Amino acid sequence: MTNAKFTKTSGLEPGLWLKRIVWNEQGLVPVIAQEASSGDVLMMAWMNQVSLMQTLQKGEAVYWSRSRNKLWHKGEESGHTQTVREIRLDCDGDTLLLIVDQKDGIACHTGRHSCFFNEWDSVASNWVDTMKS
């Protein structure tokens, strides 16, 4: 595990720092969650300005659920929370990277470690579940 560079930020106000982020037409930005200990890419989700502010305040990942059309505190139902260690903004300002500690090692709603378990098999010309034996 890396040393935490992130500290919960209470009382933070929106400002120029928020305007550096390129938000899409729906006011969202894509977010990649990466596990701090392994470097594994865990999942991709979306944030709006409110969910980013809540993430900064709580120190745990809060996303915007497009399917439920509401804020989604990761792990609120499953208990598989993501404690944020770092937040990075990419060079274009249009994608965030959260480096997280994943509680219980489960990030995917399928109960798997990562949402990225389907791998393209060129020979079969199909997606293969890398978690199946």
| Both tokens assigned to 115 | 């949402």
Is the pLDDT reported for residue 128 higher than 50?
yes
Q: Domain 16-129 is in which class?
A: alpha beta
36-48 residue pLDDT tens = 999 999 999 999 9
8-33 residue pLDDT tens = 777 777 777 898 999 999 999 999 99
- Whole-angstrom distance, CA of residue 90 vs CA of residue 127: 29
Name the average pLDDT for the chain: 92
Is the pLDDT reported for residue 92 higher than 90?
yes
Around 69, how many Cα atoms within 13 Å sit in the side-chain half-sphere?
A: 1
Would you kindly state where each structural domain of the chain is located, as residue ranges?
Answer: 16-129
Cα torsion angle, 12, 14, 20, 22, sign: positive
Beta-carbon contacts of 39 under 8 Å, excluding residues fewer than 6 positions away, are none
- Whole-angstrom distance, CA of residue 105 vs CA of residue 113: 6
- Whole-angstrom distance, CA of residue 72 vs CA of residue 22: 21
Q: Tell me if the pTM is above 0.85.
A: yes
Model confidence band, residue 133 (pLDDT cutoffs 50, 70, 90): low
| Both tokens assigned to 106 | 């489960």
Model confidence band, residue 1 (pLDDT cutoffs 50, 70, 90): very low
